[in-house]
Copies of this chain bind each other. A is one copy, B any other.
Amino acid sequence: MSLIVQKFGGTSVRDAERVMNVARIVTDTFAKGNDVVVVVSAQGDTTDDLIAKADEINPNASKREKDMLLAAGEQISISLLAMAIEKLGYHATSLLGWQAGFETSSAHTSARIKRVSTERIRDALDKKNIVVVAGFQGISRRGDITTLGRGGSDTSAVAIAAAMHADLCQIYTDVEGVYTADPRKVESAQKLKEISYDEMLELATLGAQVLNNRSVEMAKKYNIELEVLSSLTNAPGTIVKEKTRMEKMLISGVAKDTDVARISVIGVPNIPGIAFKMFSKLSAKDINVDIILQSIGHDGKKDISFTVAKSRGKEAVAALEDYMVGHGAKEVLYDDEVAKISIVGAGMESHAGVATKMFEALYDAQINIQMISTSEIKVSVLIDINEADKAVKAIHRKFFD
C-alpha cells in the first residue's frame, strides 16, 4: 500500500462533470489499495469572479481581506469533490488549509509554508477516508487565513507529499505531461517519460508553465517524485525526479517565451560602477532582468542590452531614461517584438556542441540571433517575435527528428 498525493487544478474541477471525473480518478487510486490525499484548486473562474467582486468594492483592499475572500474558492471545490467521492460510495473528508495543518508566514497573498502538521490528515486516512485538502491556503501564527500566491496549489501538494513521505505526488493538469516543445505548435513534439528537477525548473521559467517553480524547488529539496499528467486521458505522464535515465537524449525540450522585451542603452560612458547604478534603478522597482549583454566598448563608450518581462518594459525604460541620458548615455531603445527561445537539457553538461547545434538550426532557417545567454543546462537566444514558432520548429527538428 502506497500513499499517493494527487493535485487537480481549477480547470480539472471547473464544473459538476469535471468534478465527477476527478472523483473517479481518485477513487480508482484508492480502490487499488492506496491511501489518497487530494489537493484541489478553486473551480475554473471562481478566483477571477471573486477578484472582480472585490475590485468593484475596493481595489485597494487589505491583503488580509483578499486572502479571506479568495480562500472561499477552494472551500467550495473541496466540499464538492468530497460530495462527488461520497456519491461513488467512498468516504471522504474535506479539509481547509488550516485544518490540514498548513502553517504559513503572515505575508498575505504570497505566504510561505512553514510547516505542515499532518495529524488530522493521518487520522482521516486511518479511518479509510479519502482526504480532500484545499490547496493554495493556510493559516498564519496569528490565526489569519493566508494564501500562497500564484501556483500555490502545486506547492501545497508537494508540501503534503514531503511532510507525509508520500510515495508519489501526481500533478494533474490539462496537458498530458512535459513535451520536448509546445505540442500545439510543433507536431513532432514528444512527451518526455522523465525529466530532472533542474530541467523542469528551467522550463518553468521559460514559459512552459506546466508546474509552478516553487513546487519543483520543494520537490527537489525533499526528493519527492512528481508525475505530471492529464485528468482527461488515461495516459501515463512525465515523471520529474532527481536523475533521469535518458542519457542519450541531449536536450529535454525547446521552449518559447514571448513575454519578454529588450532594452538597449546606447553609448554608456565606460566608467566603473555605471552598470551597477543602472541595474539598481531597476531592482529598486522590483523589476527582474534576465539576459544581459554588454558590448566590449570603444571610444570610451559601450552599449548595454538586457531583457525584462514585457509587462514591466515601459516602466523599466522610464526608470532608466532620465538617469542614463543625464549621465552621458546617448539613448535608451525599447523593443518588445522579441521572443526568447531556449533549449534545456541536463545532457548539455556532458556533451559539447549542443549550443552550436542550436545556432546551426537557426542559421539553416535564416533566423537572426539578437542576444545569447547560457547556463549549465540551458541555452537561450533572443530573436524577432515573428520568427519564434519557425525557430522552435527548426530547433526541435534538429534535435529530435
Interface positions of A (Cβ within 8 A of B) = 16, 19-20, 50, 53-54, 56-58, 60-62, 64-66, 68-69, 71-73, 75-76, 78-80, 82-84, 86-87, 92-94, 96, 99, 120, 143, 145
Contacts and interface: CB of A to CB of B under 8 A. Distances in A.
A355 B270 CA distance: 104
A217 B78 CA distance: 35
Contacts of A58: 83-84, 86-87
A54 B75 CA distance: 13
Contacts of A57: 16, 19-20, 80, 83-84, 87
A62 B68 CA distance: 25
A83 B71 contact: no
A69 B65 contact: no
Given A53-B16, A80-B53, A99-B143, A68 B75 contact: yes
Contacts of A120: 143
Given A53-B16, A84-B57, A68 B72 contact: no
Contacts of A87: 57-58, 60-61
16 contacts: A54-B80, A54-B83, A57-B84, A62-B82, A62-B83, A62-B86, A65-B79, A65-B83, A65-B86, A68-B78, A68-B82, A68-B94, A69-B75, A69-B83, A72-B76, A75-B75
A49 to B, nearest CB: 10
Nearest to A120: B143
Contacts of A80: 53-54, 57, 69
Q: Which 10 pairs across A and B sit closest by C-beta, in order of nearness?
A: A61-B83, A69-B79, A58-B87, A68-B79, A72-B75, A58-B83, A16-B56, A72-B72, A65-B82, A65-B79
Nearest to A73: B72
Contacts of A64: 93
A312 B62 CA distance: 49
Given A61-B82, A68-B75, A72-B75, 7 more contacts: A54-B80, A58-B87, A61-B83, A65-B86, A65-B92, A69-B76, A72-B79
A62 B20 CA distance: 16
Contacts of A62: 82-83, 86
Nearest to A23: B57
B65 A94 contact: yes
Contacts of A84: 57-58
Nearest to A88: B58
A120 B142 CA distance: 10
Nearest to A20: B57
Of A20, A57, A62, most B-chain CB atoms within 10 Å? A57
Of A61, A64, A145, most B-chain CB atoms within 10 Å? A61
Contacts of A78: 68
Nearest to A49: B76
A398 B176 CA distance: 77
A6 to B, nearest CB: 18
A86 B69 CA distance: 14
Of A54, A60, A65, A99, most B-chain CB atoms within 10 Å? A65
A75 B97 CA distance: 14
Contacts of A20: 57
A84 B145 CA distance: 19
